[in-house]
Amino acid sequence: MVHRFWVKPNEVNFRYFGRSDLVDDLDPEAERQLCQLAESETGIPALFIIVFPLMGRPF
């Protein structure tokens, strides 16, 4: 079974972790927090982010 979170990663970080410092990017701590949330909701400590703004990417 695939579980889906239909929200932007930065919105999740703000809603669940109170972080408003990230705009169009994720730092390692934010990635860990998202994986912790996925594990608490699904039992699987991993997730795929399939829509992410390319403006913040250097390549």
Tell me the pLDDT of the chain averaged across its residues: 76
Cα–Cα distance measured from residue 46 to residue 32, given in angstroms and rounded to the nearest whole number: 9
Cα–Cα distance measured from residue 19 to residue 41, given in angstroms and rounded to the nearest whole number: 19
42-57 tens-digit pLDDT: 888 888 877 776 766 6
- Read off the pLDDT band of 27 (50, 70, 90): confident
- This model's pTM is above 0.95: no
Per DSSP, 54 falls in state G
What angle, 0 to 180 degrees and rounded to 10, lies between the N-to-C axes of helices 28-42 and 9-17?
Answer: 80
